[in-house]
Structure 1
Amino acid sequence: MILVFGGTTEGKKVAGILEEYARPYYYSTKTEIDFSTGQYGQYRHGAMTAEDLQAFCIAQDVKAIVHASHPFASVLHETIHTSAQALSLPVFRFERSYPEKQEHPLIRYVDTYKAATGWLEQHPVKKLLALTGVQTIAPLQYYWQQHATIFRILPRESSLALAKAAGFPEEDLILEMPGDDLQQASALIKQYQIGAILTKESGESGFLSTKIKAALENNIPILIVRRPVLPEAFIPVTDAASLIGHLNRLGL
């Protein structure tokens, strides 16, 4: 049995690969999603502690983990690493592609949200567009309570509920799926008179290139929070050939 952590574009790719190569797998997400298991897959959802994950792997006779979840899922990174080390399981990190870093005065990479908002305090803007996800609304409360901020979040009831629970004003929310439409991204900046963008280094699956192009086109700064460093024990894979090659060598 192979355990796949998904909920992303990459997770769906992995599931498709395992179906194509007739490998039995569990597909796991934190929150429940619509997922077609196909012929070889099974689905589970719900957060797991390291103890939960180890118990699950033992019960289901998991022989390998494919980690294809979001690059900013720091808690999950650590949970998988701890559990895999305890059970001597290989972890294959199915990585998304990232645009090459550009050197430009308007593009600023930072390590933390605190560093980003610290820069914004020193370089105030009329209005910030935060493209960092609904989970960052509460941690960034100290900033948006003092400065005009627009958050774009996924058009889901659960996302709206989280935003409301954090006390964020609903009129300053944009409920919209991200995409690669540069014209639409640029129109958003103009419509809301955005002075800067805050986003994450979420790669091409997160349409980072489009966000950067929109910022540059409108001559506004974009602050990009660098993705967390992954444990060295994770084995990077990027396509079907590399993933199946590793699984074949394990006899899976």
Structure 2
Amino acid sequence: MILVFGGTTEGRKAMALLEQAGLPYCYSTKTEVEIPMQVCGTYRHGALTPPALKEFCAAKNISVIVHASHPFASVLHQTIADAGLPVLRFEREYPARTEHPLVHYFDSYDAALNYLCVHPVKKLLALTGVQTISQIEKYWRAHTTLFRILPRESSLEQALAAGCSREDLIMALPGNEAALIASHGITGILTKESGESGLLSVKIHEALQAGIPIFIIARPALPEGFISVNEHDLLDHLKAYLVCH
């Protein structure tokens, strides 16, 4: 049995490939989402602690994990590593880093915030997700910051609980950066190195078109031992492993 951690474009790609190959799997997400009809797989949702994941893998006879969740899911990265099973990391595409005076990369949120606190912008648009609001609180408490969050009630409740005012929240789906920059008078963007699935190239392009700086948090390193795969070689890795075991 294969356990797939998804909730992303890559997760759905992995699920489709397993369905096509007729391989048994379980698809897991942190929050409940709608997924396509499954023939070879089952679905579960809810966060798993390291002990709970080990118990689940033992109960379901899991022999390999396909990790296709978000690149910034650091807690999940470590939880999966601690499970003690082979891990195939289904990677998304990442654009080459852009070298431009307006494009700034940082190794962590703290590094980015330290820079922004010294070099604040008049109106920052944060595209880092509702769960990061508390991480950048020391900046937005002192400087005008708008947050784009997903247009769903749970995201709104989480943002308000973090202390944001409703006026500082933009509830919209990704992909409308140019319109947001123009309509809200944005003078800087904070985002994550989330790859092409996260529309990073689009965000960089729109920032440069508007002549404003973009501050990018680098994706965290993965635990050692994860094997990087993509949609072209996932099945080869899986079949080789399953045959050997």
Q: TM-score, normalised by structure 2?
A: 0.97
Aligned counterparts, 1:1-252, within 5 A: 1-83=1-83, 85=84, 89-179=85-175, 184-239=176-231, 241-251=232-242
Q: What secondary structure is seen at the aligned counterpart in 2 of 1:96?
A: coil
Q: CA deviation at 1:187?
A: 2.3
Please say if residues 66 and 87 of structure 2, whose CA atoms lie closer than 8 Å, have aligned partners that are also in contact. yes
Instruction: Report the aligned-residue RMSD.
Output: 1.0
- Classify 1:122/1:244 alpha carbon distance in 2 versus 1 (closer, same or farther; 3 Å): same
Q: What is the Cα deviation at residue 120 of structure 1?
A: 1.4
Q: Deviations over 1:159-218 (max 9, x none)?
A: 111001111011111111112xxxx42221121111110000000000000000011011
When structure 1 is superposed on structure 2, of 188-197 and 90-99 the one drifting more is 188-197
CA distance in 2, matches of 1:218, 1:176: 20
Distance in 2 of aligned mates of 1:5 and 1:138:
25
Deviation at 1:134, TM superposition (A): 0.2
**Count of residues paired in the alignment:** 243
Runs (4 or more) in structure 1 with deviation over 4 Å come to none
Alpha-carbon offset, residue 238 of structure 1: 0.9
**Contact 2:116–2:139 (Cα < 8 Å) also in 1:** no
**CA–CA separation in structure 1 for the residues paired with 2:70 and 2:239:** 26
Separation in structure 2 between the aligned mates of residue 13 and residue 193 of structure 1, nearest angstrom: 37
- Alpha-carbon deviations, 1:12-70, whole Å to 9, x = none? 00000000000111000111111234101101111111110000000000011000000
Which runs of 5 or more residues in structure 2 are unaligned?
Answer: none
User: How many angstroms apart in 2 are the aligned matches of 1:251 and 1:76?
Assistant: 24
Task: Provide the rounded CA distance (Å) in 2 between the counterparts of 1:143 and 1:121.
Answer: 6
Indicate conservation of the 8 Å contact 2:89/2:228, yes or no: yes
TM-score, normalised to structure 1, is 0.94
Q: Quick one: which amino acid aligns to residue 86 of structure 2?
A: P
User: Relative to structure 2, which stretch is displaced further, 241-250 or 230-239?
Assistant: 241-250
Distance 1:23 1:194 in 2: 48
